[in-house]
Amino acid sequence: MTPHTRRKVWSAVLIVGFFVLWEALCWLFNVSDIVVPKPSQIIYTLYQRGPALWPHTLQTLYTTLVGFGFGILIGIALGVLIGSSRLAYDVAYPLLVGFASIPKVAVVPIFVLWFGSGTVPAVLTAMIMCIFPIVVNVATGLATTEPELEDVMRALRATKTDILWNVGLPRTMPYFFASLKVSVTLAFVGTVISETVASNRGIGNVMMIASSNFDVPLVFAGLMILAFLGVSLYAIFSLIESRITGWAHRKDEFAMG
């Protein structure tokens, strides 16, 4: 067994073991469903309530992806703007940190005030949650581009745009994808927060209603769905990242491919 597959096997063992231990502890201490439901019960709930949960899952996924998409666009635009010059970087950074340190939950009521409850505030919350890491990473990637690499281009009389497209942005890709992995999970947080506060659809809303009905297995089923969606998107972006920015990690498979 190669070290790589061994690591994967142990990861799988750890995950399965975690749920087995959970189940065992619930049986052992006779934990009530109202407090912590058993994993088997959660899976049964998922199966039983699946048809009802499905549209909410789609709603949450849709909201998250739309918010994330806008977040990427705005994040890149702002990042390029801020990272393109030392001056812009130094001037804009404090304001950016200021915005980033606002707890995003606090702005949901404002969005609801402006746009009513429903999908729009959820999309916006997802968006503002994921913008900051993208902006910071893109800007940092651009601002730290080695001057020698730029000199090569400048000696060829390349325009600013040429340098951005051929040196700045490709060099920033590893930073950008690292931020995407963080951002996509944050986008989920944003969506769920907003759905919990002001929506009648989505997994956040389902969990809110279930907890007020003391339907704890359903709450945990919602958590499972969110975890699954989050992990799936993370995995997808990891895959894209290793395809596009393999040069930064110098993987042998990439080099040969």
Partner 1 sequence: MTSATELPRTEDTFVELENVTLTYGRGDKQVTALGLTNLRVNQGDFVALVGPSGCGKSTILKLVTGLITATEGFVYVAGREVGAAPVRVGMAFQNPTMLPWLTVRDNVMMPLKIVPPFRQEYQSKKKTEFRDRADALLKEVGLANFGDKHPWQLSGGMLQRASLCRALIHEPQLLMLDEPFGALDQFTREELWAVMQELWMKLKPTVLLVTHDLKEAGYLATRICVMRTRPGQIVDDAQVPFPRPRTIDMSYTPEFVSMTQRLREMIVSQRPVKETV
**Positions that interact with partner 1 (CB under 8 A):** 146, 148-149, 151-158, 162, 166-167, 170-171, 173, 245, 247-248, 250, 255
C-alpha–C-alpha distance, residues 142 and 226, integer Å: 33
| Those residues with Cβ within 8 angstroms of residue 114's Cβ, 6 or more apart along the chain or in another chain | 121
Q: Do 82 and 96 meet the contact criterion of CB atoms below 8 Å apart?
A: yes
Shortest distance (Å) from residue 142 CB to partner 1: 15
To the nearest 10°, the Cα dihedral for 224, 226, 230, 236?
Answer: 80
By beta-carbon proximity to partner 1, the closer residue of 152 and 224 is 152
End-to-end CA distance of the chain: 23
By beta-carbon proximity to partner 1, the closer residue of 1 and 255 is 255
By beta-carbon proximity to partner 1, the closer residue of 195 and 241 is 241
The length of the chain, given as a count of residues: 257
By beta-carbon proximity to partner 1, the closer residue of 228 and 247 is 247
Shortest distance (Å) from residue 158 CB to partner 1: 5
Shortest distance (Å) from residue 55 CB to partner 1: 42
Q: Do 242 and 186 meet the contact criterion of CB atoms below 8 Å apart?
A: no
Shortest distance (Å) from residue 86 CB to partner 1: 17
